[in-house]
Amino acid sequence: DTDFRFRRENSAKEPHVTWTGQGETGNFGISSLLTATTLFPDKIPFSLTLGTAQDSRNLLRRSPTSEEIAAGPHLEVGPFKLSLGRPAPIVVNAWASRSEYWLSIQGDASIQRLLQLARSVGLPAAQPNADGIAKIDLQTVGSWSAFSPAITLGQAQLRSVRAEVRGLNEPLEIASANVALMPDEVQVKDVTASLAGSAWRGWLALPRQCSLPAQCLVRFNLHADTISTDGWNDLLTAHPRKGPWY
pLDDT digits (tens, 9 = 90+) for 61-71: 444 444 444 55
Of the pLDDT bands very low, low, confident and very high (cuts 50, 70, 90), residue 138 is: very high
Tell which wins on pLDDT, 62 or 221. Answer: 221
The residues with which 219 forms a beta bridge, in sequence order, are 205
CB atoms within 10 A of CB 10: 8
Tell which wins on pLDDT, 97 or 60. Answer: 97
Of the pLDDT bands very low, low, confident and very high (cuts 50, 70, 90), residue 242 is: low
Position 204 scores a pLDDT of: 94
Q: Report the Cα–Cα distance between both ends of the chain, in Å, rounded.
A: 65
Position 153 scores a pLDDT of: 92
Tell which wins on pLDDT, 38 or 113. Answer: 113
The residues with which 44 forms a beta bridge, in sequence order, are 25
Of the pLDDT bands very low, low, confident and very high (cuts 50, 70, 90), residue 133 is: very high
Q: Got the DSSP string for the chain?
A: -EEEEEEEE--SS--EEEEEEEEEE-S--EEETTTTEEE----EEEEEE------GGGGGGSPPPGGGS-SSSEEEEEEEEE--SSSSPEEEEEEEESSEEEEEEEEEEEHHHHHHHHHHTT------EEEEEEEEEEEEEEE-GGGPPPEEEEEEEEEEEEEE-TT-SS-EEEEEEEEEE-SSEEEEEEEEEEETTEEEEEEEEEES--SSGGG-PPEEEEEES---HHHHHHHHSPPPPPPP--
Residue range 185-198, pLDDT digits in tens: 999 999 999 988 88
- What average pLDDT score do residues 238-243 get? 59
Q: Do residues 4 and 19 make contact, with C-beta atoms less than 8 angstroms apart?
A: yes
CA distances from 199 to 70, 139, 179, 222, 226 (A): 47, 33, 19, 10, 8
User: Over 80: is that where the pLDDT of 120 sits?
Assistant: no
> What does the alpha-carbon distance between residue 81 and residue 90 come to, in Å, rounded to a whole number?
6
> What does the alpha-carbon distance between residue 203 and residue 226 come to, in Å, rounded to a whole number?
18
> What does the alpha-carbon distance between residue 45 and residue 76 come to, in Å, rounded to a whole number?
8
- Opening angle at CA 231, ends 229 and 234, nearest 5: 110
Instruction: Point out the least confidently predicted range of 87-91, 145-149, 222-226.
Output: 145-149
